[in-house]
């Protein structure tokens, strides 16, 4: 095992796919910083504070995990944390195109930072935060695809809307 890696993303909300990746990332890296990106141009469903609070609660017993937020470029954040590895998950071919683009751009911006991709477990291949939100918005059953806490928060939020 070696060093610190940054796992950046929107996590709006975190799914079982993300959690699986975090657990597997910890088998490779001593420390994983789950970095929630603040995007001023995109209003999220959960606020940044809500996302962070949920992730912290779910991972509170995992030594080696830190939950943080960042604005601006991922590579700048990675540097500011003294790390040089970005971890991302890859689901299907559709992910490959955008992830490849981001990885090449990040490398162009910062040659010393490496992107490492872990294949998503087949069980979570079809899961994304967006599809989870869509199904939950229509009252579909998403248990087993997200942690119980996320399921509960989604229900509460859709009830309020
Ligand atoms: O969970 P997501 O939405 O796939 O995460 C995408 C994220 C946040 C990792 C990506 O949009 C990002 O890195 N944003 C920060 C701004 C940045 O560095 N953009 C250039 C990346 S090529």
* Beta strand pairing call for 114-119 and 4-9: unpaired
In the chain, what's the furthest Cα-to-Cα distance?
46
Do the beta carbons of residue 87 and residue 54 sit within 8 Å? no
74 lines ligand 1 (CB under 6 A): yes
Beta-bridged to residue 36, according to DSSP, are 9, 69
State pLDDT tens for residues 106-136. 999 999 999 999 999 999 999 999 999 999 9
73 lines ligand 1 (CB under 6 A): yes
Residues above pLDDT 70, as percent of the chain: 99
- Other C-beta atoms closer than 10 Å to the C-beta of 120 total 20
Catalytic residues: 18, 42, 91, 129
Tell me the two tokens of residue 54: 């949920």
Q: Whose CA is nearest to atom 18 of ligand 1?
A: 73
**Sequence-ordered alpha helix ranges (H) in the chain:** 16-25, 48-58, 74-80, 93-109, 129-137, 148-160
Q: Whose CA is nearest to atom 7 of ligand 1?
A: 9
129 lines ligand 1 (CB under 6 A): no
Please report the pLDDT score of residue 92 as a whole number.
Answer: 83
Please give the mean pLDDT across all residues of the chain.
Answer: 96
Compute the distance between CA of residue 9 and CA of residue 11 in angstroms, rounded to an integer.
Answer: 6
Please give the C-alpha separations between residue 133 and each of 43, 66, 70, 101, 150, in angstroms, as whole numbers: 14, 25, 23, 26, 10
Read off the pTM: 0.96
């Amino acid at each position: 095992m070696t060093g610190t890696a940054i796992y950046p993303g929107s996590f709006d909300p975190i799914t079982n796919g993300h959690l699986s990746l975090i657990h597997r990332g910890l088998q490779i890296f001593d420390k994983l910083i789950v970095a929630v990106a603040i995007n001023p141009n995109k209003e999220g469903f959960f606020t940044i504070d809500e996302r962070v609070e949920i992730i912290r609660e779910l991972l509170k017993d995992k030594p080696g995990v830190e939950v943080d937020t960042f604005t601006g470029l991922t590579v700048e954040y990675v540097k500011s944390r003294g790390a040089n590895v970005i971890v991302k998950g890859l689901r299907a071919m559709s992910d490959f195109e955008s992830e490849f683009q981001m990885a090449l751009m990040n490398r162009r911006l910062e040659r010393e930072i490496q992107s490492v991709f872990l294949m998503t477990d087949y069980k979570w291949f079809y899961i994304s935060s967006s599809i989870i939100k869509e199904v939950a918005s229509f009252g579909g059953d998403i248990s087993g695809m997200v942690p119980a806490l996320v399921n509960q928060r989604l229900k509460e939020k859709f009830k309020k809307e």
